[in-house]
A and B are shown apart, each in its own frame.
Chain A
C-alpha cells in the first residue's frame, strides 16, 4: 500500500463516517456541521486526484459559503433544538434503507467499468499539465475558451437565482 493510498483511504473513511453522522443526527445544526466535515474530507480527496484548484473551490464555496447559508437559515428559523427525532418510523426507515441499498448495488456495479482505452490519457497527464501550466491555468484556459458560452450562461443563472431568492424571501415587495 503506497502512502498516497493510505492518505486516500483515511480521507475516504472520514468522509463516509461524517456523512453517516450527517444523515442520522437529530439536531439540524450538528447535521450541517458533520456535512462540513464531509466536504473538507472530499477536498482532501480532490487534492489526491490532481484537482488542487477544485479542492480550494470546494472549501471556499461549499464549506465556506453554502454551508454558512444553511446554518444561517437554521438559526433564523430557530429549529436548531429538535425535541424529537424527525427520522421516519420503522416502516419508512426500512423502505428507505432498502431502496438506498438497491441504489448502492447498482452504483457499485459501475465500478467495474473502465473508460475506453482510446480516450484515456497516459497516467499522470493531469499532474504534468498542472506542473507545466500552473494549477489554476490548467483549469482556467479551457474554461475561458472551449467552455466560454456555458460560463457566461452560469452568470445569467446566478443573477436569476439572486433575484429569485430576494423575491421569495421578502415579506412584501
Chain B
C-alpha cells in the first residue's frame, strides 16, 4: 500500500510550504508557497481516497476550484498593492505596524 509513503511525502511538502512562507519576503513567492501547501493536502486526500472512497478525489476537485479563485483574487490584490507602493517586499508594506 502507498498510503504511508504518500503521507510522508505530503508532510514534507507541506513543511516546505510553511518554511517558504516563513523565510521569504516576496509576496508572490509566499503566495506560491501557499499553493504548495494546498497541493500537499491534495496528495493526502488522494492517498486516503484509495481506502476511504471517491469522496477524497472530489474534495481535491473543490480544493482546485478554490485555489483558482484564490489565485485570481490574490494576484489582483498584489497588483493593486504594487501600484500603490511600487514594491512587493513585505518588509516595506508595514502600514499596520504601530
Contacts and interface: CB of A to CB of B under 8 A. Distances in A.
Contacts of B68: 61, 65-66, 158, 161
A44 B83 CA distance: 39
Given A12-B9, A96-B19, 18 more contacts: A8-B2, A19-B13, A23-B29, A31-B32, A35-B36, A51-B49, A53-B57, A58-B42, A77-B82, A86-B26, A87-B24, A100-B15, A111-B7, A119-B51, A121-B50, A160-B69, A168-B77, A168-B80
11 contacts: A4-B2, A16-B12, A28-B26, A62-B39, A74-B28, A77-B88, A111-B8, A154-B65, A157-B69, A164-B73, A165-B73
Contact of A20 (B6, B16, B23, B77): B16
Contacts of A129: 54
Contacts of B39: 38-39, 42, 62
Contacts of A51: 46, 49, 57, 60
Contacts of B89: 86
Interface residues of B, number: 70
Interface string A33-67: 00100110010011011110110011001100110
B75 interface: yes
B47 A162 contact: no
Contacts of A138: 54
B21 to A, nearest CB: 8
Interface in B1-56: 1-20, 22-26, 28-29, 31-33, 35-36, 39, 42-43, 46-55
Chain A contact residues, majority secondary structure: helix
B19 A97 contact: yes
A115 B88 CA distance: 43
Contact of A32 (B16, B32, B51, B73): B32
Could you say which of A61, A99, A138, A168 has the most chain B C-beta atoms within 10 Å of its C-beta?
A: A168
A9 to B, nearest CB: 7
Interface in A94-124: 95-97, 99-101, 103-104, 107-108, 110-111, 114-115, 119-121, 123
B11 to A, nearest CB: 4
Nearest to A124: B50
